[in-house]
A and B are shown apart, each in its own frame.
Chain A
């Protein structure tokens, strides 16, 4: 076991998200709706050397599993991420994220004149493009700083 891996302790139950694009860990926490004063037990490692990615971030969250919507958005900002479900210290499930065709209800359209930003009973919905996402309603394309558009409750 290398020094790098020792920096983050094991968890009993929860999720380990590994191979997050270096520097994106805080955005991953935003996707998961985790805030500093929320009471969640978590470990975050940032800019850890990685053979595959150069540098990577790791997030470990106790007593939390990810919904498909969360995984979908995660895949957009951390396409190489792997998700490990941990029960009683054992990894019982491990899978890579895959890019979805659409993401719904997790990103806010940056166009303030888009109907999805108004008081209407409709979730935001984006088609996933090769290099960004596109609002299904107003067609606005977001290519940069996707994480800035994550909907916060």
Chain B
């Protein structure tokens, strides 16, 4: 039996048979570097429309199947992609855990995505290796969305981060502090790239051992971005409109005592923020461990749960654009 996939139909006029025809407007979403300001604003504008009236898109992609390939654990990203396609009438086909898939038998990523593209209209991939999403995209014709490739990029997180920033602080004359693990943090790399499209000063606060990698530094320099690096938050905190906190992971340090010492210097609570602007927006891609104290959760600073919730309208908007036809 040949599965006639209306989303992938490119020959003949599928509309004549009453089946929606959806040419792929956007290709793969691999890196925040590929997104222009216009691309970003298009997604954010559409996300805002969807957030205002989600029912307007409730059946827009009712035949769409989204293939989920998560080679690493995920809560927010996987669940919000699932919620997003379902809220537009579509559904998911999920590879499940690596342990229960053919990957366990030694199947390559290239083969896996080539197989799964036959089951789905777009793929969402999370994989522990840097460059995995780019490589996988070279083997498939359906759009592939990078949901995190090792310490590389996480462009859809960045889109929801930018949505949250726009809603809370705006993009004009913006000063953002990004703190924590800047070396391995893929959300940091993507956000830093994307912010170069806007009128934003970026301050990077981290221990020396976890500063931005050479490749990101190179790109920021090439883009002419305004950036400064710090080892302490105190000196820059009063200037910030947004403080984006990330988790420092235990496995990045040779021993536990060194980790505790360093990680402790990059934790924030209401006392830490005494010199902050009243309108400061505190963000975190989550999950947090103890880098943001729970005593901040009920303050006006805390925006990280709103940020996580924004994952749904933003990913709905992105999927809508990726799968969009001539409506």
Chain B positions near chain A (C-beta within 8 angstroms): 108-110, 127-132, 134-135, 138, 149-152, 214-215, 218
Contact partner of A119 among B108, B127, B131, CB < 8 A?
B108
Contact A141 B134 (CB under 8 A): no
The interface residues of chain B, by DSSP majority, are classed as mixed
**Nearest CB in chain A to that of B133: its residue:** A115
Contact partner of B109 among A120, A136, A140, A141, CB < 8 A?
A120
Contact A113 B214 (CB under 8 A): no
Q: With an 8 A cutoff between CB atoms, is A121 at the interface?
A: yes
What residues on A are CB-neighbors of B129 within 8 Å? Answer: 113-115, 118, 138
Q: Are A140 and B151 CB-contacts (below 8 A) given A115-B131, A120-B135, A122-B110?
A: no
5 shortest A-B CB distances, which residue pairs? A137-B131, A138-B130, A138-B131, A115-B131, A139-B215
Contact partner of A114 among B109, B131, B214, B218, CB < 8 A?
B131
Chain A positions near chain B (C-beta within 8 angstroms): 111, 113-116, 118-122, 134-141
Bound-state CA distance A94–B110 (Å) is 42
What residues on B are CB-neighbors of A122 within 8 Å? Answer: 110, 135, 138
**What number of residue pairs across chains A and B have CB atoms under 8 A from each other?**
56
20 CB < 8 A contacts A-B: A111-B130, A113-B151, A114-B129, A115-B109, A115-B129, A115-B134, A116-B135, A120-B108, A120-B109, A121-B110, A122-B110, A122-B135, A136-B134, A137-B130, A138-B152, A139-B130, A139-B152, A140-B130, A141-B214, A141-B218
Q: A120-B135, A141-B215 are in contact. List 18 more A-B contacts (CB 8 A).
A: A113-B128, A113-B151, A114-B130, A114-B131, A115-B129, A115-B132, A116-B131, A118-B109, A120-B108, A120-B110, A122-B110, A134-B218, A136-B134, A137-B131, A137-B135, A139-B131, A139-B215, A140-B130
What residues on A are CB-neighbors of B135 within 8 Å? Answer: 115-116, 120, 122, 137
**Nearest CB in chain A to that of B153: its residue:** A139
- Nearest Cβ distance between residue B223 and chain A, in whole angstroms? 14
What residues on B are CB-neighbors of A139 within 8 Å? Answer: 130-131, 152, 215
What residues on A are CB-neighbors of B151 within 8 Å? Answer: 113
